[in-house]
Chains A and B, each alone.
Chain A
């Protein structure tokens, strides 16, 4: 099973700042099959990025994904108030054994 580690666990920032979240895999994720999700209390999870760098439908371009192999990054170029949330990475390269990272919280400084 591929284990995903996310860092930092919590990122304290202000609106307008840049957020960089890391997701590291215990072994190479084939075909860059990595997705990112946003979770906010009381709301359905939202797909942000799939295929490591492809934005999902309706996702603003301030969200970008990059990386390959074992190291992946989600970047939010300028934080909006609605971006303060928990973010999860997920690998599907070893399907059916898909796995999620433990999550990373972006909160207000």
Chain B
């Protein structure tokens, strides 16, 4: 069955960096678009980054553009999110999600991981 497992979250100081990973299994990872979505404590969901199946098309939300970088390693069935210049408002649970879309842009998300918590605090 489809499984997505995030890792790499933790406590980081403002201005610091963190790299999240998402291990995918149960499907042909290289066939699918993927996204990162986050949820601040007690808040709603915010899509933040998308990558096409080959990584050739990438989109970011304005809130993270220039600070976060999404990447994927199809040989290792893994998705990554490099987060730099972190701010308190980046504190959230970060989810990776599979996108079954037909065009290279975020669509809806048919499978989600359970998330990894990132806390940005001094």
Contact = CB atoms under 8 A, between A and B. Distances in A.
B114 interface: yes
Interface residues of B, number: 23
B46 A100 contact: yes
Contact of B110 (A47, A99, A103): A47
A45 B111 CA distance: 8
Nearest to B115: A44
Contact of B106 (A42, A92, A101): A92
Contacts, number: 58
B12 interface: no
Would you call the interface of chain A mostly helix, strand, loop, or mixed? Answer: loop
B45 to A, nearest CB: 4
Contacts of B108: 33, 35, 47, 50, 90, 92
Contact of A44 (B47, B50, B113): B113
B32 interface: no
Chain A interface extent, by class:
20 to 34
Contact of B47 (A42, A46, A98): A98
Contacts of B112: 44-46
A96 B59 contact: yes
Contact of B107 (A46, A56, A92, A97): A92
Interface string B21-61: 00000000000000000000000111100100000000101
A100 B4 CA distance: 21
Q: 9 nearest interchain CB pairs?
A: A35-B108, A96-B59, A95-B105, A100-B45, A45-B112, A44-B112, A98-B106, A102-B44, A50-B108
Interface of A: 33, 35, 37, 42-47, 50, 56-57, 88, 90, 92, 95-103
